[in-house]
Amino acid sequence: MLVGAGMVICLFLAGFVSFYASSAPDGLEKVAEDQGLMTTAQDSANATLPTADYGIAGVGSERLSGGLAGVLGVLVMAVIGFGLFWFLGRSKKSATVEKGAD
Partner 1 sequence: MQIQLMQVHTMHIPDGFINAPTSAVAVVIAVIGIAICLNGARKQLDEKTAPLAGLVAVFIFAMQMLNFPVALGTSGHLLGGALAVILIGPYAGALAVSVVILVQGLLFADGGLSAIGLNIINMGMVTAVVGWLVFRGLIKGIGVSRPKVMAAAFLAGLVTVPVSALAFVLEYAIGGTGTVPVSTVTFAMVGVHILIGIGEGLITALTVGAVFLARPDLVYGIHDRLPKKLLVTSTPVATPANGS
CB of 12 to partner 1, least distance (A): 8
58 touches partner 1 (CB under 8 A)? no
**DSSP conformation letters of 69-100:** HHHHHHHHHHHHHHHHHHHHHTT---SSPPPS
* CB-nearer residue toward partner 1: 58 or 90: 90
CA atoms within 13 A on the CB side of 60: 0
Q: Is 57 in the site for partner 1 (CB under 8 A)?
A: no
List the one residue from 36, 58, 60, 61 that touches partner 1 (CB under 8 A).
36
